[in-house]
Amino acid sequence: MGRATNVHWYQGSLTREERWSHLGAKGCTIWFTGLSASGKSTISSAVEKVLVSRGVRAYRLDGDNLRHGLNADLGFSADDRVENVRRVGEVARLFADAGSVALSAFISPYLRDRDACRQAHDKAGLPFLEVFVDAPLAVCEQRDPKGLYQKAREGLIQGFTGIDDPYEPPRNPDLVLKTHEMSIDQCVDACLGLLEQNGLLSGP
């Protein structure tokens, strides 16, 4: 419970099981984490495309995109990063509850914040699959599709993950994608395999 008082949970008249059964859907969150330029947006968007083309509800929550709207009031301070991830975790949980595969693509550098999102999903009885998009810093820096590493090295951006802010890798990810060794297609197949292994691709 947050700061609001006299707020009561309204259960509604439709259970999750009924919703998913009527929609022929199964919800979950795939949480992509990794350094900037490791490939989170590229892979999550390719996975989204394959899933939707197969008739599976899927929706991507992309770090940069959400900072245009829901998270437009947040910067990159430690507190703001925590709040950024918390909000995305909550939105992902809602999408998952609604029966979608929520694909979250955020650096989400801190273990504690990602664990909090996992716990929120566990508590709600929703699957949370953490995918570590694992490319070495040197590779990400060389890719640098947005020129951000260069700016960080020049001191034009402070607190940049991997340069002057830490990245804490997952201790026990559900999947590791070494994007410097695997093609984009191989990464997408591995994500689909992960969904399949967890019984999340076929209808209920």
- Contact set with ligand ADP (CB under 6 A): 34, 36-43, 105, 133, 143, 145, 179, 182-184, 187
Q: Write the DSSP symbol of residue 29.
A: E
Q: 60: number of CA atoms within 13 Å, CB side?
A: 20
Length of the chain, please? Answer: 204
CA trace torsion 186, 192, 193, 198 (10° rounding): 160
Nearer to ligand ADP, 58 or 187 (CB): 187
Instruction: Respond yes or no: is residue 21 known to be catalytic.
Output: no
Minimum Å gap between C-beta 38 and ligand ADP is 4
Minimum Å gap between C-beta 163 and ligand ADP is 14
Minimum Å gap between C-beta 137 and ligand ADP is 12
Nearer to ligand ADP, 97 or 141 (CB): 141
Q: Which runs of E-coded beta strand occur in 34-183?
A: 58-62, 101-105, 128-133, 175-177
Structure tokens at 169: 């890798």
Nearer to ligand ADP, 148 or 195 (CB): 148
| Distance (Å, whole) CA 50 – CA 60 | 12
3-state secondary structure of 58: strand
| Distance (Å, whole) CA 146 – CA 199 | 36
Which residues are within 8 A (CB) of 49 and not within 5 positions of it... i.e. 6 or more apart? none
Catalytic residue among 53, 108, 183, 202: 108
Nearer to ligand ADP, 115 or 189 (CB): 189
Minimum Å gap between C-beta 144 and ligand ADP is 9
Positions marked active-site:
108
